[in-house]
Each structure stands twice: as structure tokens, then as C-alpha cells.
Amino acid sequence: MSPDALRRQLEYYRDLGIKDLYRKDAIPIVNIELPGLAPTGDSLPRILKDIGDCTRCRLHTGRNKLVFGVGNPQAKLVFVGEGPGADEDAQGIPFVGRAGQLLTQMIENTAAKEGIPLKRADVYICNVVKCRPPENRTPEPDEMETCGQFLFRQLSVIQPKAICALGSTAAKALLGGKDGVTRLRGKWHKWHDIPLIVTFHPSYLLRPYNQNAKREAWEDLKKALHFVYD
Ligand code: URA
């Protein structure tokens, strides 16, 4: 069997939740190591192809369109949200609803104010889960884990200079741990050696009583933009 075929076979077992494999004829039991998550020569089209018409978790049942990611595949800055909402599910593009319009404004207006020539199309935007959770609920841990492997591959392929995690779901998926945005925001963290900043999710900022968070989110974004583009 070729290494690629073996990798696909093992990924299939992993998707079924099987982590340990035992060789048929071996008397001493052999635990076969799963190969690294990203295959050699990985690319965004390859990841999309591997996701395919995904039925790995329950979220596929309510999906209209899978929402993979949008933007510059060589982006220096990647934004990671939680999961598609209704507009994103209808269009297959992340952050196109109200929260998305706010994110676009935040990126473009903050960059313009700071003298950085940057448009939304220059960054890359994706989510932890690629299918819309019912009623926009928070993705369950098993859904995040199943879909997270594709997010990790996207980030590994793009290799941005920095990642901006929008909200606590993205922060948890990328940093682990239980801390929420209030604790994590404004400071630099790391995802596999790539600097990562956490800030509020734009949906949270749309609520009228969160004006203070809005100011803080703008500060976080300024910090990220100067780090990446100065
Ligand atoms: N919220 C998200 O987290 N992602 C989207 O794509 C849209 C809204």
C-alpha cells in the first residue's frame, strides 16, 4: 500500500474514532502511529477535496452549503470564527451576514486609519466548523474536534504571520484550555509557533450594550495589523 493510501485508510479509521490498530498476525500487539495531520504537499484545494461531501458529524444534516474559507491563500493574517450562520450557509462564504459586515468594516476601517493598505480580500477568513450549527448554537466539542483537523490543515498550509481568533470557540479550538475571551484577549499567544491574538466575536460586538468590548476589539485588531504589516 502506498503511504498516501495508508494515510487515507488511517484517517478513515480515525474519523470512526478508532485510534489503536493491531496487526492481524502479530502475537505481540503493535500500536500503529497515525501519520501527521497534514499530508506532505498539502494545499487548500486538497483539503477541500478531502472534506468532500462531508458527513463526519451531525452538522451535515442541516447544511445547505459547506463554508470552507475565503480570501488570499497566501494571507499574512488569518481570522478564525466559530461556524457559519444562516447567510454563510446559504452562500457558502464565511462572514457575509451582519457580523461579517462588521468584521469587514473593522478590518478595512482600522487598516485605513492606521495607514495600512489592506482590504478584506487580502486576509483569509474561515471558521472552526464548516457547517452551520442548528439555531446557531455553539459547536459541540466532538464537532470541533472532527472539523478542527481541517482548520489546522488550512492554517498549516497558509502559514500566516499571525492568527486572530474571533471569540471563545475559536480561542478554545486553537489554544485549548477553558479561558474565555475576556481573559485571553489583547495578549499574544501561539498556535504551533504562529503568533495568535484573541478578540471578541463580531456578533458579540453587535449587541448594543457591548460598547466597551468594541473599543477593546479595535485595540486588539490594531495590535494585530501593526504586528503583521509594519
Ligand atoms: N459567525 C462566525 O463565527 N462565522 C461566520 O462565518 C459567520 C458568523
pLDDT digits 0-9 by tens, 113-170: 999 999 999 999 999 999 999 999 999 999 999 999 999 999 999 999 999 999 999 9
Q: Which of 29, 31, 39, 54 is nearest to 6 (CA)?
A: 39
Looking at the chain, the whole-number percentage of residues with pLDDT higher than 70 is 93
Mutate to test the pocket of ligand 1, among 65, 95, 147, 205 (most ligand atoms within 8 A of CB): 95
Compare 10 and 133 and report the one with higher pLDDT. Answer: 133
Q: Is 133 in the pocket of ligand 1 (CB under 6 A)?
A: no
In sequence order, which residues have a C-beta less than 8 Å from that of residue 73 and are 6 or more positions away?
44, 124, 157, 158
Atom of ligand 1 nearest to the CA of 166: 3
Q: Which of 97, 172, 181 is nearest to 129 (CA)?
A: 172
Copy the grid coordinates of residue 125.
477568513
Q: Is the pLDDT of residue 96 over 70?
A: yes
Q: Is 225 in the pocket of ligand 1 (CB under 6 A)?
A: no
From the CA of 116, how far away is ligand 1's center (Å)?
Answer: 25
Q: Is 89 in the pocket of ligand 1 (CB under 6 A)?
A: no
From the CA of 169, how far away is ligand 1's center (Å)?
Answer: 11
Please give the average per-residue pLDDT across 5-22, as a whole number. Answer: 76
Q: Is 202 in the pocket of ligand 1 (CB under 6 A)?
A: no
Confidence at 37, pLDDT banded by 50, 70, 90? low
Whole-prediction pTM: 0.86
Copy the grid coordinates of residue 214.
468594541
Q: Is 139 in the pocket of ligand 1 (CB under 6 A)?
A: no
Helix ranges restricted to H, the chain: 3-15, 44-51, 86-91, 98-113, 141-158, 168-175, 181-184, 202-205, 211-229
Compare 24 and 191 and report the one with higher pLDDT. Answer: 191
Confidence at 179, pLDDT banded by 50, 70, 90? very high
Q: Which of 181, 224, 179 is nearest to 201 (CA)?
A: 181
From the CA of 199, how far away is ligand 1's center (Å)?
Answer: 14
From the CA of 193, how far away is ligand 1's center (Å)?
Answer: 25
Mutate to test the pocket of ligand 1, among 91, 124, 201, 204 (most ligand atoms within 8 A of CB): 201
Q: Is the pLDDT of residue 9 over 70?
A: yes
From the CA of 95, how far away is ligand 1's center (Å)?
Answer: 5
Mean pLDDT, the chain, rounded, equals 92
Atom of ligand 1 nearest to the CA of 128: 3
- Give the separation between CA 82 and CA 98, rounded to whole angstroms: 15
Q: Is the pLDDT of residue 32 over 70?
A: no
Q: Is the pLDDT of residue 229 over 90?
A: yes
Is the CB of residue 75 less than 8 Å from the CB of residue 158?
yes
Q: Is the pLDDT of residue 217 over 80?
A: yes
Residues 41-81 have pLDDT tens digits of: 999 999 999 999 999 999 999 999 999 999 999 999 999 99
Q: Is 88 in the pocket of ligand 1 (CB under 6 A)?
A: yes
What local confidence, expressed as pLDDT, does residue 31 receive?
Answer: 47
